[in-house]
Amino acid sequence: MRDREVWRLRIVPAATLVAVAALALVPLATGEGCLPFCEVPSHTTGGFVPPVTLVGAGSTLTWTSLDTLPHTASATTLDLCLHVTYSKTSPGSARFDILDGTLVVTMPGMEPKVCTGAEALPDRSLRLDYVCFYHPNTMNGTLLVK
Ligand SMILES: [Cu+2]
């Protein structure tokens, strides 16, 4: 069991980097949805699957739970511009837009929020890292909005 845990800790960061590199090679124009999908399944042990999602500006992303625990998709930035709660019976979603080079997140029933902490990348996409508040060690991901 211990050996298996150590193996997981070593392999996850490498897998994340490979996923980032693979997605970065795929062009995604605005309004073309998300890659690989606009739905991010997740669970406590495996995190967000996959951990990196490429989001076309104007697209709505939905998080679903594969286990029975409550989860969140919450920006790691101080402004907490993304904070979606969800569970197996109640998926959570948010829409992502880029206005004047700034990432704007709109959650259902709320005013749009500006993500001042999103990182602008050289290809003009915006990077937002996020975690589950309850399981930040195993559930952490990245959104690349373009
Ligand atoms: Cu969680």
Query: Would you say 73 and 82 are in contact if contact means Cβ atoms under 8 Å apart?
Result: yes
CATH of 2-145, one of 3.30.70.20, 3.30.700.30, 2.60.40.420, 3.90.1580.10: 2.60.40.420
Q: What is the pLDDT of residue 33?
A: 92
If you measure from the C-alpha of residue 122 to the centroid of ligand 1, how many angstroms do you get, rounded to a whole number?
Answer: 31
Q: What is the pLDDT of residue 32?
A: 72
Query: Would you say 101 and 114 are in contact if contact means Cβ atoms under 8 Å apart?
Result: no
- Per-residue pLDDT, averaged over 15-43, amounts to 72
Q: What percent of the chain has pLDDT over 70?
A: 79
Q: What is the pLDDT of residue 11?
A: 45
pLDDT in tens, 84-108: 999 999 999 999 999 999 999 999 9
Other CB atoms within 10 A of residue 88 CB: 14
If you measure from the C-alpha of residue 102 to the centroid of ligand 1, how many angstroms do you get, rounded to a whole number?
Answer: 27
If you measure from the C-alpha of residue 27 to the centroid of ligand 1, how many angstroms do you get, rounded to a whole number?
Answer: 30
Closest of 37, 39, 43, 91 to residue 66, by C-alpha: 43
Query: Would you say 111 and 82 are in contact if contact means Cβ atoms under 8 Å apart?
Result: no
If you measure from the C-alpha of residue 86 to the centroid of ligand 1, how many angstroms do you get, rounded to a whole number?
Answer: 9
Whether residue 108 has a cis bond before it, omega within 30° of 0: no
Residues near ligand 1 ion, CB 5 Å cutoff: 71, 132, 134-135, 139
Cβ-based neighbours of 54, under 8 Å, separated by 6 or more:
23, 26, 28, 34, 35, 144, 146
The CA distances from residue 143 to 13, 14, 31, in Å, are 16, 17, 15
Q: What is the pLDDT of residue 40?
A: 98
If you measure from the C-alpha of residue 76 to the centroid of ligand 1, how many angstroms do you get, rounded to a whole number?
Answer: 14
Q: How many residues does the chain have?
A: 146
